[in-house]
Amino acid sequence: MSQKVRVAILGATGAVGTELLELLASRQFPLASLKLLASERSAGKTLDFRGESLLIEAVNERSFQDVDIVLASAGGSTSKAWAKTIVESGATMIDNSSAFRMNPEVPLVVPEINPDSVDNHRGIIANPNCTTILLGVAIWPLHQVQAIERVVVSTYQSASGAGARAMEEVKEQAQAILDNRQPPTNSFPYPLAFNLFPHNTPINGQGYCEEEMKMVNETRKIFACPELRVSATCVRVPVLRAHSESVNLEFSQPFSVVKAREILQSAPGVKLVEDWDANYFPMPIDATGRDEVLVGRIRQDISHPNGLELWLCGDQIRKGAALNAVQIAELLVKKNLVGSRLATV
């Protein structure tokens, strides 16, 4: 990449923000400049980047002048509040929140699946939900060979999905329980340490929570399959930063397990992890810090002749958020598409 890009990270002090910093450095992103933005309470602090201490600035109306790409990871309300300013400044916002994902004018992008959807962006590109990204990377290669008709997925979601503070709270809860004290519940409605519970987002009239509907609607949009049948059950589990998913796929005709394994062995963004003799398959502890989505335990569904089952794990902060955003930024540079196109926000 010969083009040098001026980048700002909005929400630089959060779990995803600090991961973005690490990825920009390790992937040698072609930076002309880097600006770290956060709330007033973080202004004046510093973060290390390539051996230098970068000052964190409080975001304001002038923050996005002379910026080409804004990597936004400060939550939906913050993204909505600053989107118009960012776009009108001439920058492209790659947004990690859910604020614009289902906006028909905003591309929802997983580079391994629909990279060309960035071509018509109008200043905002949405990063999908973490569970949707991990699922899509794993099943898209199979869908390309034989169209998937139905997806049933159960997620086992780590604390990192609720942010850095939630991760620390799980540690505090574990210690409190071991000490026979009442565990704190500030980030979650219930203790997560030594426990699990269905995802605590609002539930609709059909009994599906918001997190589950994100998987349904976002997968359909990314796959450009509005009629794809998807059912999700999302569960919080006491893991720090890697999500797991149990996936059942239904096709119109049988799909060979051997063929599926061959496809996933060479699929971009996927690492096949299977040792049947040792009963060793993807685990969150192995996925933590990895770029790839670990996939394994691929088997025939004994209840349906056209069904396949698989298990996956992926780092929620990395591929589920920060890495996917940086990959989108790399796409923009490669395609010479940096800059806004005046979206309606």
Mind giving me the DSSP string for 192-246? -TT--EE--SPB-TTS-BHHHHHHHHHHHHHHT-TT-EEEEEEEE-S-SSEEEEE
Q: Return the closest-CA partner of residue 112 out of 343, 314, 292.
A: 292
**Residue where the block lists tokens 């007033």:** 40
**Residue where the block lists tokens 């940096």:** 338
174 marked ligand binding residue: no
79 marked ligand binding residue: no
6 marked ligand binding residue: no
Mind giving me the DSSP string for 243-277? EEEEEEEEESS---HHHHHHHHHT-TTEEE--BTT
Name the amino acid, one letter, at 300: Q
14 marked ligand binding residue: yes
150 marked ligand binding residue: no
Query: Directed axis angle between helix 15-26 and helix 323-334, to 10°?
Result: 50
Indicate which residues carry an active-site annotation: 130, 243
161 marked ligand binding residue: yes
16 marked ligand binding residue: yes
**How far is it, in rounded angstroms, from Cα 210 to Cα 207?**
10
Q: Which residues pair with 275 in a beta bridge?
A: 280
210 marked ligand binding residue: yes
229 marked ligand binding residue: no
Name the amino acid, one letter, at 68: D
303 marked ligand binding residue: no
182 marked ligand binding residue: no
211 marked ligand binding residue: no
Annotated binding-site members for NADP(+): 13-16, 41-42, 160-161, 316
Annotated binding-site members: 13-16, 41-42, 101, 157, 160-161, 210, 236, 316
Annotated binding-site members for substrate: 157, 210, 236
Annotated binding-site members for phosphate: 101
